[in-house]
Amino acid sequence: MSLLFSPRIPALDDPRLRDFGFLCCVIDNLYSYRAWRPTFDLDAIAVTVANRLANLINRLERTTDDATCIAARWYLENVKEITIVPMAVPVVNPLIDRLERAVHAHETRAGYQCPSDEFGRLVGTTNTERCLILYGPPTTHIEDKSGANSRPSPFSTYGRLTVWISFHCWRCYPGE
């Protein structure tokens, strides 16, 4: 069965979660169109966090993109507040360490530290806003503040956040 069309998030004991290539796939699609629900279970949160960490690592290790580094730094600053179930710690912690090394390597090459505040301003300051980005559904399924439930205008704050995530973090739209 294809990962892209599977209706379930992989279980934490799924050996594919130890495969970095698998983690970089669009696991978001598993819950964005069929299985996502507002009350995540802790296993789903852990898998989503692992997926997003893997995508940030993948992009940051392959590009010299400050926007990815800025988002990665913000993610690292905020992921520490998420409760990760003990069974997922062996999957998530090495990814956190690898992303920290990738951020450090990028900043060493660039010669300056990438500040996370620009990305943070787009995300917002409430716990709900932060959690939506840390482990929520892909942004196409989050209603923007205007109440629209479609692709937001790229000129709105929410639209700029969606574009940033889609181009520099992980995929927001199917088929990207």
- pLDDT tens digit sequence for 134-176: 887 665 544 445 555 556 666 677 778 888 888 888 765 444 4
Cα–Cα distance, 54 to 22 (Å, whole number): 9
Structure tokens that stand for 9 in this block: 């998030």
Q: What is the CA radius of gyration of the chain?
A: 15
For residue 102, pLDDT over 60 is answered with yes
The pTM of the full predicted model, rounded to 2 decimals, is 0.80
pLDDT, tens only, 5-32: 344 667 777 787 887 877 777 554 444 4
Cα–Cα distance, 71 to 137 (Å, whole number): 17
| Rounded alpha-carbon distances, angstroms, from residue 101 to 55, 56, 98, 147, 159 | 15, 12, 5, 39, 30
Q: Give yes or no for a contact between 55 and 170, defined as CB atoms under 8 angstroms apart.
A: yes
Cα–Cα distance, 143 to 156 (Å, whole number): 13
How confident is the model at residue 143, as a pLDDT? 47
Report DSSP letters for 116-166, one per residue.
SHHHHHHH-SSHHHHHHHHHS--GGGS--TT---SPPPTTSHHHHHHHHHH
> Counting Cβ atoms within 10 Å, is residue 97 exposed (0-12), middle (13-18) or buried (19+)?
exposed
How confident is the model at residue 31, as a pLDDT? 46
Q: Give yes or no for a contact between 48 and 135, defined as CB atoms under 8 angstroms apart.
A: yes
- Go through the chain and tell me how many residues it has: 176
Structure tokens that stand for 175 in this block: 């088929």
Closest CA to 157 of 110, 132, 121: 121
pLDDT, tens only, 38-92: 456 788 888 888 889 998 998 999 888 899 999 999 999 999 988 899 998 998 9
| Rounded alpha-carbon distances, angstroms, from residue 50 to 27, 74, 97 | 10, 15, 12
Largest CA distance in the chain: 45
How confident is the model at residue 133, as a pLDDT? 85
